[in-house]
Amino acid sequence: MNGVGTSAIDIAHLRSWIGREDVGADILSEDLARKYHATFDFAGEAPTFGAVMPPLIHFCLAGHRSDLLGPDGDAQHGGFLPSVPMPRRPGRTRRRDAD
């Protein structure tokens, strides 16, 4: 990789990280939905069980403590994610399953 401020990247090492997953599960309670609704001053009543939840509320669920985040806001390098000598990495994918 030829970029300003980047070191040589060991592609073979990075390939060993392919397929890793960080899976978390949490409960989206009516109480959390009510508090989130109030925090962002959404109009109308807060959603209740079975209703469509407000946009982006999943960011309140199953996250990392702030002291475990790197400067880019994602998990620190070398834990779940490989240590890549680049200042910015693509955002992770989140999948939401509703039962």
Q: From CA 68, how far away is CA 56, in angstroms rounded? A: 21
With cut-offs at 50, 70 and 90, classify the pLDDT of residue 86: low
Quick check: 85 pLDDT over 60? yes
pTM as predicted: 0.49
The Cβ of residue 74 has, within 10 Å, a number of other Cβ atoms equal to: 16
A 10 A CB-CB count for 83 gives 13
Coil, helix or strand for 75?
strand
Residue 35 pLDDT grade (very low, low, confident, very high; cuts 50, 70, 90)? very high
The answer to whether residues 30 and 37 touch, using CB atoms and an 8 Å cutoff, is: no
Average pLDDT over residues 67-78: 70
Q: Which two tokens stand for residue 42?
A: 């959404």
